[in-house]
């Protein structure tokens, strides 16, 4: 696990530029920093790599890694590298190291880029430089576990593992993208190819960006080598439930064991939920004294650490727990923008950073369990949407007109009776009734700030972006909601949260549910294998029940939330007030100050009636811009 940065420019930049870029990523790779300078025609190429040593701890695996005409910058892990290495050795390819870096570059050289990528099981972002053809390839893993940003404008290319590295280049322009700004206030995170800054993009999951230099001019093209949507398009498997369960269990065991490959200590994040329990349960059969880590809350409504402790005892793991309190929240909330250098509003980043820091005391690698909800129909919002769509008393034009009429009075009802988030909830029910397509329905109701509220809050022109899918309504039905989450919420919220949180403390986070073989299989499972009694993950639950008694773990899903309303009312109020005080029309011309103040005042007049995430998103944006732009 590592970080990297670099740039290609016609100007001969000072050496301190690449050193500054690399220094900003020290947390991603504290064990070694490697630099390399070279030239493409009359352009200057500078690259740097920050290494966190996980496999083959010797200097021979440091990067940048050269092999003939190719230079490699690589962040991630290829878990099946030993199998690929044996295959290459059988074809007379020689190796000088014991890690996966050399396997990556020699696989690409021997098999060709796309065939090599098809063999890789893991998480990765790659910069591959071919000197002779003056071509640079930017590559990201299938699901988007590892990040990769690039800025390309006026014949300069700047790239890096995090935006903060790019921002250290003097020619990186920080013009806020209207599209990304709308994305952030809609969802609480920036989603898609466009980053928060104009002319700066993400390499998308499963994408290769090919950049060529010709006569001192840069051109680029993008190509997908893997697309999750393709597997949702396929017909559902004609297989019995028992066969599917055994096949899935086999895939899970294989994936989980692969992610234990390491030359440093490995642990598992354990909550009280089915997904992390599944990871721990299947691993403890082969790995005794497995380290498990849990974070709890002193608020009894949010705390399930005691249940995780019972599960760990049942599995006989070496269990460790810590608690997130208000003092921790105060210290960390104002520092979130240091770790999340793009606007990011997921408040569960706080406990994720805390548990990562806690785990780092014992291990250097920790397995998470993200992806289970997206793959196995685990979110309660799926069933809320289904219930409304299948209820003829609600899902009809008359009810829609009645709700529209009530919505005119809902702000008054909220104020008088302190009914939580009533106006937004009514509008979301109306949207569910209006939408036919399940994919578009989820896209509408997932929004924290609905489109009309974003229009009021943002003063710059922010055209609405329709997130389309090629799947037709009949072919994917309810699975369209899983597809939305798998292509937006998972890579741009969940995986961003975990990557930045774990790497902030130089801990490698691994995602065992996100092996592409599991994804491809899960996407084709019949709906009846996923849901039962108005809840999801039936097949995962049945696998877990083979190891853990049902009465210990079977309870309503709580997620990984924090008592945000209480924190905003209490220990974080001074931070909120300070942020709002810094809001002014000169530095924040894109924000309607009156609307921002309304959000602040409305929340503190009746906190229980208003969605605290709206205020949280606003405050995080103000703090982010103060830190990274102004």
pLDDT tops 70 at residue 465:
no
pLDDT tops 60 at residue 592:
yes
Beta bridge partners of 158: 7, 151
CATH 3.30.230.70 matches 2-226: no
Report the distance separating Cα 473 and Cα 624, nearest Å.
39
Assess contact for 496 and 187: CB atoms under 8 A.
no
pLDDT tops 70 at residue 442:
yes
Report the distance separating Cα 18 and Cα 46, nearest Å.
7
Closest CA to 629 of 592, 590, 594: 590
Q: Hey, is 566 helix, strand or coil?
A: helix
pLDDT tops 80 at residue 521:
yes
Q: Hey, is 416 helix, strand or coil?
A: helix
Residue 449, token pair as written in the block: 């700030």
pLDDT tens-digit series, residues 361-371: 999 999 999 99
Q: Please count the other Cβ atoms lying within 10 Å of the Cβ belonging to residue 555.
A: 11
- Tell me, what DSSP letter sits at residue 598? H
Beta bridge partners of 510: 367
pTM for the full predicted model: 0.94
Range list for CATH 3.60.20.10 in the chain: 2-226
Task: Categorize the per-residue pLDDT at 618 as very low, low, confident or very high, splitting at 50, 70 and 90.
Answer: very high
Q: Hey, is 366 helix, strand or coil?
A: strand
pLDDT tens-digit series, residues 346-383: 999 999 999 999 999 999 999 999 999 999 999 999 99
To which residue do tokens 């548990």 refer? 355
CA-only gyration radius of the chain, Å = 24
Cis check: omega of the bond before 64, within 30 degrees of 0? yes
Closest CA to 502 of 359, 361, 628, 620: 359
By CB atoms closer than 10 A (0-12, 13-18, 19+), residue 137 is middle
What is the average pLDDT score of the chain?
Answer: 92
Q: Hey, is 85 helix, strand or coil?
A: helix
Closest CA to 629 of 78, 180, 14: 180
Task: Categorize the per-residue pLDDT at 471 as very low, low, confident or very high, splitting at 50, 70 and 90.
Answer: low
Assess contact for 282 and 319: CB atoms under 8 A.
no
pLDDT tops 90 at residue 423:
no
Architecture category of domain 230-294+304-320+349-377+480-553 in CATH: 3-Layer(aba) Sandwich (3.40)
Assess contact for 4 and 50: CB atoms under 8 A.
yes
Q: Give the rounded percent of residues in the chain with a pLDDT score beyond 70.
A: 96
Beta bridge partners of 159: 6, 150
Looking at residue 560, its pLDDT comes to 65
């Amino acid at each position: 696990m590592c970080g990297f940065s670099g740039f290609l420019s016609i100007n001969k930049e000072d050496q301190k530029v690449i050193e500054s870029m690399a220094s900003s990523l020290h947390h991603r790779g504290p064990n070694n920093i490697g630099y390399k300078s070279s030239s493409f025609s009359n352009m200057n190429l500078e690259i740097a790599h920050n290494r966190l040593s996980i496999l083959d701890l010797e200097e021979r695996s440091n990067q940048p890694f050269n092999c003939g005409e190719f230079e490699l910058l690589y962040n991630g892990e290829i878990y099946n590298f030993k199998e690929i290495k044996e295959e290459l050795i059988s074809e007379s390819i020689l190796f000088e190291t014991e890690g996966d870096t050399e396997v990556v570059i020699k696989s690409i050289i021997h098999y060709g880029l796309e065939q090599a990528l098809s063999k890789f099981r893991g998480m990765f972002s790659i910069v591959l430089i071919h000197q002779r053809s003056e071509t640079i390839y930017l590559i990201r893993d299938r699901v988007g576990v590892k990040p990769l940003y690039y800025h390309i404008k006026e014949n300069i290319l700047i790239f890096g593992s995090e935006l903060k590295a790019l921002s250290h280049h003097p020619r990186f322009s920080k013009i806020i993208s209207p599209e990304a700004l709308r994305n952030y206030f809609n969802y609480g995170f920036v989603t898609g190819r466009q980053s928060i800054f104009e002319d700066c993009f993400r390499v998308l999951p499963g994408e290769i960006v090919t950049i060529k230099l010709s006569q001192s001019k840069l051109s680029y093209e993008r190509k997908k080598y893997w697309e999750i949507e393709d597997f949702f398009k396929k017909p559902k498997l004609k297989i019995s439930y028992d066969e599917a369960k055994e096949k899935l269990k086999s895939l899970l065991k294989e994936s989980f064991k692969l992610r234990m490959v390491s030359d440093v200590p490995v642990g598992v994040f354990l909550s009280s939920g089915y997904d992390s329990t599944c990871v721990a349960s299947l691993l403890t059969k082969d790995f005794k004294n497995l380290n498990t880590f849990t974070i709890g809350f002193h608020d009894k409504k949010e705390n399930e650490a005691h249940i995780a402790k019972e599960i760990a005892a049942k599995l006989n793991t070496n269990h460790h727990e810590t608690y997130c309190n208000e003092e921790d929240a105060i210290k960390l909330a104002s520092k979130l923008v240091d770790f999340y250098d793009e606007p990011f509003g997921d408040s569960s980043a706080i406990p994720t950073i805390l548990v990562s820091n806690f785990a780092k005391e014992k291990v250097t690698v920790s397995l998470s369990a993200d992806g289970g909800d997206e793959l196995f129909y685990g979110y309660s919002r799926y069933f809320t949407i289904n219930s409304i769509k299948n209820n003829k008393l609600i899902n009809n034009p008359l009810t829609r007109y009645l709700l529209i009429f009530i919505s005119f009075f809902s702000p008054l009802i909220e104020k008088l009776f302190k009914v939580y988030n009533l106006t937004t909830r009514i509008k979301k029910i109306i949207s569910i009734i209006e939408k036919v397509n399940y994919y578009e329905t989820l896209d509408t109701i997932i929004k924290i700030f609905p489109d009309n509220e974003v229009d009021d809050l943002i003063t710059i022109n922010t055209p609405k972006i329709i997130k389309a899918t090629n799947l037709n309504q009949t072919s994917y039905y309810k699975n369209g909601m899983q597809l939305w989450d798998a292509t937006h919420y998972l890579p741009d919220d969940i995986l961003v949260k975990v990557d930045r949180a774990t790497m902030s403390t130089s801990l490698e986070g691994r995602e065992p549910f996100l092996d592409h073989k599991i994804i491809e299989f899960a996407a084709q499972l019949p709906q009846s294998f996923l849901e039962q009694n108005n809840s999801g993950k039936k097949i995962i639950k049945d696998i877990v029940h083979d190891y853990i008694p049902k009465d210990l773990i079977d309870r309503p899903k709580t997620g990984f939330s924090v008592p945000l309303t209480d924190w905003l009312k209490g220990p974080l109020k001074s931070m909120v007030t300070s942020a709002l005080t810094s809001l002014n029309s000169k530095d924040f011309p894109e924000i309607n100050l009156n609307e921002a103040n309304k959000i602040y005042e409305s929340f503190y007049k009746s906190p229980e009636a208003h969605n605290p995430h709206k205020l949280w998103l606003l405050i995080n944006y103000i703090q982010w811009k103060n830190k990274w732009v102004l």
